Amino acid sequence: MSEATGAAESADPTDQTESNAEYDYDVVVVGGGPTGCSAGVFLARYGLDVAVLDRGNSSIQRCAYLENYLGFPAGIDVQTFYGLLHDHVEEAGCALVREMVETVDRTEDGRLTVETQDGTAVTTRRVVAAARYDVEFLRPLGGDEMFVTHTHGDDEHEHFDRDYPNEDGTTPLDGVYVAAPVSDAEAQAIMSAGHGAQVARTVLEDIRRDVGYPDDVAGHWDWVRQEADLTGEWADTDRWREWFDDRVPDDHGLDETRLTELREREIERRLATYLTDDEIERRIQRGHERLLEHVDDDAILRAASEIAAERQREPQSRFHIVDIGLRVPCVRVRVNQNDEFDELYRKSHWRHGDSTQLNQSNQSNL
């Protein structure tokens, strides 16, 4: 799995729960639209074994052109958007299975089994339903209680009860979560993605509680930081131990060995979220390169041609006076087309915010 921020709780050697070998996946997400993909990314980045199954009736496929999803100033076509979603899912470490789910049921020993129309059957600890239009596959688990019937004249229409799941995605069924269909949380694509992430965080919190984490540290935030911010008392591992111990109730019920294992795992996971400058730069470059894979080749070639032409038009050397809101001006000197450096010339007679042209004496000092 690529660049996940922690190890899977179920697969960790310090875990005292049942062996992960008894299940094909930790979580199966049914639905590969914004909701399901968002949930899958959050779950897989934590280190869980996740499968996202997608070959159903996706609501976003009915969108002619997506114009209000943040990050795409001129909008994005649905096909490219879908490609980005699925690429992100796989990059995070999910298995993307292009099969339609037919049923989700529970075996006699309590394991959840997901079966597809193609005959594939996998076992999982947890299921996240993220299919807006069709969740009939959940009927073997919840029966008629999760469906409601409406009458329109002589016709009766049955559909999933959107009030069946709680706002956080939990349901009366152990290990079963519903991220879609729900109420207004999926009214727009960007809202659907947010709700998928919310439900994924609920799943992670439940998993962490199950393996023994106290309530006050069971929540999970997927957020990386700059290593330069790890300073002062928080650069000391003992300070993290104090932080953890302060949140453990007296009646936690765990033996000291197990509690110590959980504490050290949590500290290791949190410290791993601090990135060096080199690692940040590497991820920036990789992120840009991965985006280019989804841009039309012709568009890339046109942009490259325009950049090359612009560079040819630029003079070999020139000066730029830049007002950076300080009491000294920043002078950017372009030595040639590829090399630049900034110098700050401290002239006491220059007023704050003054970005007038350099006089002849100043220019002669460059």
Same domain, 116 and 237: no
**What's residue 21's pLDDT?**
66
Same domain, 113 and 196: yes
Q: Domain containing 131 — which CATH number?
A: 3.50.50.60
Residue 281 lies in a domain: no
**Alpha carbons 349 and 182: distance in angstroms, whole number:** 65
Residue 287 lies in a domain: no
Print pLDDT tens along the chain (366 aa).
344 433 344 445 335 344 466 999 999 999 999 999 999 999 999 999 999 999 866 778 889 999 999 999 999 999 999 999 999 999 999 999 999 999 999 999 989 999 999 999 999 999 999 998 888 999 999 998 999 988 887 788 888 988 999 999 999 999 999 999 887 777 899 999 999 999 999 999 999 999 999 999 999 999 999 999 999 999 999 999 999 999 999 999 999 999 999 999 999 999 999 999 999 999 999 999 999 999 999 999 999 999 999 999 987 555 555 554 444 444 444 444 444 444 333 333 333 444 444 444 444 443
Residue 204 lies in a domain: yes
Same domain, 161 and 197: yes
Same domain, 194 and 60: yes
At CA 225, angle to CA 220 and CA 230, rounded to 5? 105
3-state secondary structure of 258: helix
pTM confidence score: 0.81
Same domain, 209 and 248: no
Residue 82 lies in a domain: yes
What angle do the packed helices 34-45 and 189-210 form, to 10 degrees? Answer: 30
The domain containing residue 339 runs over which residues?
Answer: 314-366
- When divided into structural domains, the chain yields a total of 3
Contact 126, 8 (CB under 8 A): no
Same domain, 75 and 142: yes
Contact 238, 244 (CB under 8 A): no
Contact 171, 142 (CB under 8 A): yes
Residue 8 lies in a domain: no
Same domain, 229 and 90: no
**What's residue 15's pLDDT?**
52
**What's residue 155's pLDDT?**
84
**Alpha carbons 202 and 301: distance in angstroms, whole number:** 44
Same domain, 110 and 150: yes
Residue 213 lies in a domain: yes
Same domain, 61 and 172: yes
Q: Using CB atoms within 10 A of its CB, is residue 232 exposed (0-12), middle (13-18) or buried (19+)?
A: exposed
Last residue of a domain, one of 218, 244, 261: 218
CA distances from 105 to 31, 175, 319 (A): 17, 11, 70
- Any idea what DSSP says for residue 351? P
**Alpha carbons 129 and 164: distance in angstroms, whole number:** 12
Q: Which residues pair with 308 in a beta bridge?
A: none
Same domain, 57 and 198: yes
**Alpha carbons 263 and 237: distance in angstroms, whole number:** 11
Which helix or strand (DSSP H or E) is residue 102 part of?
strand 101-106
**What's residue 357's pLDDT?**
43
Same domain, 174 and 67: yes
Residue 120, C-beta contacts closer than 8 angstroms, at least 6 positions apart = 97, 99
| Both tokens assigned to 138 | 């959940």
Dihedral, 209, 215, 217, 223 alpha carbons, nearest 10: 80
**Alpha carbons 244 and 270: distance in angstroms, whole number:** 11
Residue 38 lies in a domain: yes
Contact 102, 80 (CB under 8 A): no
Residue 259 lies in a domain: yes
**Alpha carbons 238 and 284: distance in angstroms, whole number:** 32
Last residue of a domain, one of 198, 218, 238: 218
Distance of CA 94 to the CA centre of its chain: 12
